[in-house]
Structure 1
Amino acid sequence: MQKILFVCLGNICRSPSAEAVFAAKAQAARLPVIVDSAGTGNWHVGEPPYGPMQRAASARGYDLSSLRARQITVLDFEGFDLIIAMDEANLRDIERLRPSDSETPVTLMMSYAPQTGERVVPDPYYTRDFDEALDLIEAAATGLLATLRS
Structure 2
Amino acid sequence: MTTRILFVCLGNICRSPAAEGVVRELAGDLASDPGLQLDSAGTGDWHIGHPPHPPMQAAARRRGYDLSRQRARQLAAADFDAFDLIVAMDAENLRNIEALRGGSDTPVRLFTDYAEGPEDHVPDPYFTGDYDGALALIERCARGLLRDIAP
- Report the number of matched residues: 148
TM-score (norm 2): 0.95
1:51 aligned partner, one-letter code: P
Equivalent AA in structure 2 for residue 49 of structure 1: P
1:116 aligns to what? 117
Deviation at 1:28, TM superposition (A): 4.6
- Give me the whole-angstrom Cα distance separating, in 1, the residues matched to 2:44 and 2:80: 17
- Which secondary structure does the structure 1 equivalent of 2:104 belong to? coil
SS at match of 2:146: helix
- SS in structure 2 of the partner of residue 43 of structure 1: coil
Offset at 1:76?
Answer: 0.2
1:27 CA displacement: 2.1
Match of 1:58 among 58, 61, 73: 61
**Alignment gaps of 5+ in structure 2:** none
Cross-structure match for 1:46: 49
Cα offset for 1:117?
Answer: 1.3
Q: Report SS of the residue matched to 2:28.
A: helix
Q: CA RMSD in A?
A: 1.2
Q: In the TM superposition, what whole-angstrom CA distance separates every residue of 1:61-84 from its partner, at most 9, and x where no partner exists?
A: 100000000000010000000000
Distance between the aligned counterparts of 1:72 and 1:110, measured in 2? 20
The residue aligned with 1:104 is 106
* In structure 1, C-alpha distance between the alignment counterparts of 2:67 and 2:150, rounded to whole Å: 25
TM-score of the superposed pair, with normalisation by structure 1: 0.95
Equivalent residue letter for 1:27: G
Tell me, yes or no, if the aligned pair for 2:30 and 2:36 is still in contact at 8 Å. Answer: no
The Cα offsets for residues 9-41 of structure 1, whole Å up to 9 and x where unpaired, read as 000000000000001111255674100000000
